[in-house]
Amino acid sequence: MRSKLTIPLCAALLLSACAVFIPRRVGPPSEVSVEITPERVALGMKLAEGIMACGACHTTGAFEGDPRSDMYLAGDVVFSKMEGKIAVPNITPDKETGIGDWTDGELIRAITKGVNRDNRLLVPLMPWADFGAALTREEVEALVAYLRTGPAPVRHMPEETDLTTFASLIMSTGMVYNMFAKEPFFSDYEPRLGTPVERGERLAYLGMCVDCHAYFPKFPGAPKFGAPLAGGSVIAVPGRPDVICSNLTPDMETGIGGFSDEELYDAIKYGKRLRPLPETDMVRWPMMARITHHTTLTDEEIADLIAYFRAQPAVEHDIVQKERERAEKK
């Protein structure tokens, strides 16, 4: 007779095999050595402090909406019902608690392929799949040059990650890889940058617009690549009012279709709402936290983002109504 333990045991063996397998598939860090030049540092700074907003997660206090300027990129901890406790690491050049001791290849592998120095797969809250798909080689190296020289080293060790059983299971089975890391992710991909729509799409990955604003009709966390940008994800953080991500598809009634380029410019650059609420005409947290990083976007980049959103399939999805219904139910 088969023991009741067989199935869990097989599952456990399979899981641990996968957990080893994924970093293998990604391969060892490269031996590259990034030369630090003023041009590289400037480009890295524009990306990291701008559209990619590393500090929106890695700065202590960022998730409470109160980033500490003396703890820039020094790490934090964030709680979520589904995933549990997630430590956001210190990525300042401090040698003991930050990335000061990492090689350039290790940094590049973590940022673009989601495997850290201990060969562990990083949870996808760290948007490595977006970064890996959307960054050029030169930009990755610029980020490394910036991380080495820009931020002040800060000695700070955030609390340790403690994932829920559900989240650990998803992580260890490699499902995360299959969901997020699509080809041509594993090849040395250079993003297409020929047309405004292509350039805008690439910025929408670097800025994670595609993560928050994606519409998951059935199952949150379902494959997001290619999901329409029709919004609807609820951002619920203890101590803050729930907000729902807006519909950015060109639907005339419920999306961005009825608004001019000027109105969209003011929304993306300054956070001015397309549909003012009785209490405010500005977007709320966490969109506002992203907007503070949009000041480094050029007018052309904003025009590219608008072109990309306008080129998406229109989906009717009334977020304002949805939020009202939610508030009434509470």
Contact residues toward ligand HEC (CB under 6 A) are 48, 52-54, 56-58, 86-89, 91, 99, 107, 110-111, 116, 122-123, 125-127, 143, 147, 161, 204, 207-209, 211-213, 235, 243, 245-246, 248, 267-268, 273-275, 283-284, 286-287, 290, 305
CB of 5 to ligand HEC, least distance (A): 30
Q: Which is nearer to ligand HEC, 9 or 277 (CB)?
A: 277
Residue 162 Cβ vs ligand HEC, minimum distance, rounded to whole Å: 11
How far apart, in whole angstroms, are the C-alpha atoms of residue 178 and residue 211?
16
Quick one: 68 or 284, whose CB is closer to ligand HEC?
284
Q: How far is the CB of 1 from ligand HEC (least distance, A)?
A: 41
CA 67, CA 286: separation in Å to the nearest integer? Answer: 12
Nearer to ligand HEC, 43 or 57 (CB): 57
319 in Cβ contact with 231 (< 8 Å): yes
Residue closer to ligand HEC by CB (options 222, 281) is: 281
Quickly tell me which residue has 């250079």 as its tokens.
Answer: 190
Closest separation in Å from C-beta 194 to ligand HEC: 20
d(C-alpha 318, C-alpha 322), whole Å: 6
Closest CA to 91 of 65, 123, 56: 56
User: 289 is written with which tokens?
Assistant: 């936290």
Write down the least CB distance from residue 265 to ligand HEC, Å. 10
* Rounded to 5°, angle at Cα 294 from 59 and 251: 120
Which residue, 21 or 270, has its beta carbon nearer to ligand HEC? 270
Of 10 and 253, nearer to ligand HEC (C-beta) is 253
Q: Distance between CA 100 and CA 144 in Å, rounded?
A: 11
Q: What letter represents residue 261's amino acid?
A: D
Nearest of 213, 289, 299 to residue 248 by alpha carbon: 213
- The least CB distance from residue 154 to ligand HEC, in Å, is 14
219 Cβ contact list (under 8 Å, min separation 6): none
Q: What is the CA radius of gyration of the chain?
A: 20
Q: Which is nearer to ligand HEC, 70 or 161 (CB)?
A: 161
User: Which is closer to ligand HEC, CB of 93 or CB of 127?
Assistant: 127
Closest CA to 58 of 69, 40, 44, 74: 74
CB atoms within 10 A of CB 126: 19
- In whole angstroms, the minimum distance from the beta carbon of 287 to ligand HEC comes to 3
CB of 2 to ligand HEC, least distance (A): 36
Residues 6+ apart with CB under 8 A from 262: none
Judge contact between 50 and 301, C-beta under 8 A. no
Question: What's the full length of the chain, in residues?
Answer: 330
| C-alpha closest to that of 220 among 244, 250, 241, 186 | 244
CB nearer to ligand HEC: pick between 10 and 20 = 20
Q: Considering the complex, what minimum distance in angstroms separates the CB of residue 182 from ligand HEC?
A: 19
